A and B are shown apart, each in its own frame.
Chain A
């Protein structure tokens, strides 16, 4: 079945550092790909998405490019802030499917 794999472990970095969170996926068809963010004690919010190969999703300085050849959708931000501290989830949905497949999430901690 469809699945999403995120890199293991929390990510701790200093303010203004470059952030990368890796995400790879397995899908039978041509899924839509998403990054969701969860701030402490809250639900998830959509951060960005891409619906077809080579699309780039972007929002709030974050970017991710849909790479069909490497089945990846890595999240990047050039200069993180303390307010970016949260848990980030990669997810996919096959078109017409009624479920999102989530990765396990990565806790990001940005230190001033």
Chain B
């Protein structure tokens, strides 16, 4: 079955450490996105990528980095510069550039800083 896989489901990090969240899709979608979800705040866009080897900052990119070396993969690194990293992170993809088509979401990674 096609879909988006995020791993791990739960992740704990010590303060000052970088951590990488995985996102893989086998839908052959061109565009991929990372969102952050906090209670009562909806979803906020961190980074997005329309094509391999290209990506753009979203609304809250500070303290995060991404890469898009393969069409299927869009990993997100939460760096030590992110002041409040504890959140639920969601990866999404769309068949074509632009979000006016259906977005498919992964099941999310819950990151907790301890």
Q: Spell out A's residues near B (CB within 8 Å).
A: 31-32, 36, 41-46, 49, 51, 89, 93-100, 102-105
Contact = CB atoms under 8 A, between A and B. Distances in A.
Contacts of A95: 98, 100
B58 to A, nearest CB: 7
Contacts, number: 65
Specify the main secondary structure of chain A where it touches its partner: loop
A76 to B, nearest CB: 21
Given A89-B43, A102-B42, A42 B107 contact: yes
Given A42-B108, A44-B90, A89-B43, A100 B97 contact: no
Nearest to B48: A98
Contacts of B48: 98-99
Given A41-B108, A89-B43, A97-B98, 11 more contacts: A36-B105, A93-B99, A96-B100, A98-B56, A99-B33, A99-B58, A99-B59, A99-B99, A100-B43, A100-B45, A104-B42
Interface residues of B, number: 27
Interface of B: 4, 6, 31, 33, 40-45, 48, 50, 56, 58-59, 90, 92, 97-100, 102-103, 105-108
A93 B98 CA distance: 8
A98 B50 contact: yes
Nearest to B58: A99
A103 B58 CA distance: 17
Contact of B102 (A31, A46, A102, A104): A46
Contacts of A105: 40, 42
